[in-house]
Amino acid sequence: MNKYFEKNKFSGDGVCELGNAVSLAARVMCNNLTIKEIEGSLKKSVLEKRRDELESNLASSALNMIALCEAVLDACDPDAVSDAYEERVEELAPTELDALRRELRNALGID
């Protein structure tokens, strides 16, 4: 399986530590997504000054979540991870229905 991080400070952490870190990271990512959502309502001059910072914060929180998820996978049996990966690849592949939903949401102006 491909990894983003070959060296990961979260690898080897216990279940409780990983659970707490994932919970915190998820809240941070949600907050950053919320900020990205409301950035459209900011005045243009304010937005221009903050856009790079907002994008960087969102990317950073997403990468932190990836590192945590990789650490969770490291704690699992490799065969189980491989089996789950194959299932998820199939289940997460976009379908025609997904494309139609996305098209409908775009047509209705729903993010």
**Longest CA–CA separation in the chain, Å:** 52
Instruction: Summarize pLDDT for 6-52 with one digit per residue, the tens.
Output: 888 888 888 888 899 999 999 998 988 888 777 766 666 666 667 77
The dihedral through the CA atoms of 61, 64, 69, 72 has a sign that is negative
Cβ within 8 Å of residue 47, ≥6 positions away: 39
What pLDDT shows up at residue 48?
67
Is the model more confident about 55 or about 79? 79
Rounded to the nearest integer, the mean pLDDT of the chain is 84
Cα gap 8→26, rounded to integer Å: 18
